Structure formats: structure tokens, C-alpha cells
Amino acid sequence: MKGELPPLVAIVGPTATGKSSLAVAVAHALGGPDRVEIVSGDAYQLYRGMSIGTAAMTMHERQGIVHHLVGVVDPQVDLSVAQYQRDARAAIQDVEMRGKRAILVGGSGLYIRAVVDDMQFPGTDDAVRGELEKRAAEHGSQALFEELVARDPQAAHRMGASNERRIIRALEVITITGRPFTAFLPQATYVRPTVTIGVDCDRSVLDQRVESRVHTMISQGLEDEVRSVLQQGMGRTASRAVGYAEFLRYFDGEISRDQAVADIITHTRRLTRKQMGWFGRDSRTQWIDALSPSVLHDALVCIDRADHGEIFLSDTTPTRRRLGT
């Protein structure tokens, strides 16, 4: 590519809507392996040895399209969103410097936004965090939440009283920066021209697809995969992934195997709602129906319109509402 770079393509949406397969199809339609490479926007596909539970595409399924940031981190490492932001932006830059086009694809809303939007990450302070964690253990998270209400009511309202981890992080940021935590929340301003394509479908259909996917993962050996990763060592981040957290509870004797499988289905369905909490409120997204026979064509139309300046590529402009209910 010469001259001005074309808009970055981001394909997003809930789990089990077919984003990964669509991204590969789009990549081939835009010129194939010689012209396009894919960068993962999935928080857990980053980890090695977790391919079944994260539904990472096999080499066969990738159809020759190079994928970046899949299976690149040991599961005992707690990779921060800030580090992912640096790595993903560097991968995209590398792809484009080699004259190719990058497609960012994934269902982790925070990770996608960290790449495409103006989003800053304040540092950390182990001493401050340790003191906050100690206070939470001694007095409960409600006391910390009340402090957050006093210091940053907007942040408190957005996260609620039950998310102890985020409350601690918010108070840590406020303490070390002297600024409200909300000052560091994602701003809906693209750092470069971007066309974001959302893939969604009817909720009842998606719930069925989730259940089918989970049973497929079980038949592919998810339980053995979790045991294998556990033997290598799992950090806090990897151990929270849906599919892994439930089997870890089963291994610890807290629940039965059948309950673990049922919980994976329930929690994955819950995850799809959470994902749409991120993606559904972004008015810049061009939504297409995952079940449409013209889904590839629809995605390519969005990209073509963006390439010709017919889609607003920064800040916020209303687009079609999401398809799910």
C-alpha cells in the first residue's frame, strides 16, 4: 500500500457469532495472505495452551491468513490491558509497514477499545494496592466502595458495589495520580480512521449456539486442556476465563462435573450480554446479521464505504442499532 493508509478494520461482537470465520473470509476477499493479516482482540486467546476453551482458530481454519497475538503468553503471566495495547498497536503497525492491511477481531470490548480509541493507562503502585486489599479483607469492599463514592461518584455509579477488584483499582489510580478514575476511562474517539463492524444475531439463537459450542469444546477435550494448563501454572487472569474457572472449581471438589458444564453454558451466555454492554452502546459500529447469507457481502460493503469516505470514521455518529434483543 502506498500513500495514506486505509481505515483499520475491526470486527467485533458477542461470543459464538462467527467473528473469527468472518474475519478470515474478509481477509481472503481483500486479497488473501499476501495482502491481509489478522490481529486478535481476545483477552484469553493470548495465552498458550488455551486454544479449546477460547475457541482459537486452528491452523486449518485460518486458511493461510497470519494471526497475531494468539498463544503468545504463558498462562501464569497476568498480561495487562496496557501491555496488550502496546503489543496490538505494534502488530498492526508492523503489518501495515509491510504493505498489508490489518483486521482486528475479537469479543473483548476493553481490549478492542484500548487499540482503536484514545485510552490511557495509569501506572500501578504495589504498596497502595496492597494497603487497599488489606482494608478490603479487614473491613469489606463496601467500605472501599463508600470511599469511592466520595472521591469519584461517577466511577462508583458505573461499576457498582460488588466489583471489589475494580473498586480497588479505581482507588489506586485516584491515589497515585490525584485524578478521578473516570478520567482514564475509554474515550469514544478513534486514534486513527477505523471502521468497526459488529456481528450479532437474535438472543435465542445465540444462546443455542453458545450451548452447542460449549458441548463441542467438551468433546474436543476442554477438561484435559484445563488440567494441562493448571499443571503448568495459571495466573489470576487465565484462571478467570470462562470454561477454566468452572473446571477449576470441579477439580477442587466444589461442584460436580455436570454442574461445571452447566455453569460454563450459563456463564458464557452471561458473557455475551456483557460483551454487548461494551459493543452495543458504541454508535460508531456498523451492525450486520451473523445469520444472514450475505454476511460477508455486508461486511465488505461496510469496508468499501469506509475506504471511500462514506462512513464517519471518528468520534460518534449514529448507525444501525444492534440486532440482538
Average pLDDT, the chain: 92
pLDDT greater than 50 at residue 2: no
The answer to whether the annotation marks 16 as part of a ligand binding site is: yes
C-alpha span between 25 and 42 (Å, rounded) = 18
pLDDT greater than 70 at residue 315: no
Number of Cβ within a 10 Å radius of residue 164: 18
- Pairwise pLDDT comparison (158 vs 250), residue with the higher score: 250
State the amino acid at position 194 in one-letter form.
Answer: T
The answer to whether the annotation marks 56 as part of a ligand binding site is: no
Using DSSP's 3-state secondary structure scheme, residue 88 falls into helix
pLDDT greater than 70 at residue 317: no
Tens of pLDDT, residues 29-83: 999 999 999 999 999 999 999 999 999 999 999 999 999 999 999 999 999 999 9
The answer to whether the annotation marks 20 as part of a ligand binding site is: yes
C-alpha span between 30 and 238 (Å, rounded) = 34
Supply φ then ψ for residue 115, to 5 degrees: -85, -45
Quote the pLDDT of residue 313: 61
Sheet-wide strand order for 101-106: 67-68, 36-40, 101-106, 8-12, 194-200, 286-289
**pTM for the full predicted model:** 0.86
Task: Return the DSSP state at 58.
Answer: P
Q: Which residues of 86-109 are buried (b: 16+ CB within 10 A; e: fewer)?
A: ebbbebbeebbeeebbbbbbbbbb
The answer to whether the annotation marks 54 as part of a ligand binding site is: no
The average pLDDT across 244-252 equals 98
Quote the pLDDT of residue 278: 86
The average pLDDT across 101-109 equals 96
pLDDT greater than 50 at residue 106: yes
Under 8 Å between Cβ of 285 and 13: no
Q: Grid coordinates 471438589 are at which residue?
A: 253
Q: How confident is the model at residue 312 (pLDDT cuts 50, 70, 90)?
A: low
The answer to whether the annotation marks 180 as part of a ligand binding site is: no
Q: Is 318 exposed, middle or buried (0-12, 13-18, 19+ CB in 10 A)?
A: exposed
In which element (H, E) is residue 67 found?
strand 67-68
Tens of pLDDT, residues 114-168: 999 998 888 889 999 999 999 999 998 899 999 999 999 999 998 888 889 889 9
The answer to whether the annotation marks 189 as part of a ligand binding site is: no
The alpha carbons of the chain give a radius of gyration, in whole angstroms, of 20
Under 8 Å between Cβ of 234 and 49: no
Tens of pLDDT, residues 266-306: 999 999 999 998 899 899 999 999 999 999 999 999 999 99
The average pLDDT across 220-230 equals 98
Pairing of strands 36-40, 101-106: parallel
Q: Can you read off the three cell numbers belonging to residue 205?
A: 439463537
Quote the pLDDT of residue 320: 43
Specify the long-range contacts of residues 61-65, CB closer than 8 Å, at least 24 apart: 61/20, 61/21, 61/24, 62/24, 62/38, 63/24, 63/28, 64/32, 64/33, 65/24, 65/27, 65/28, 65/32, 65/33, 65/36, 65/37, 65/38
Tens of pLDDT, residues 184-213: 877 788 999 999 999 999 999 999 999 999
Q: Which domains does the chain have, with CATH numbers?
A: 8-119+201-307 (3.40.50.300), 126-182 (1.10.20.140)
pLDDT greater than 60 at residue 97: yes
pLDDT greater than 50 at residue 245: yes
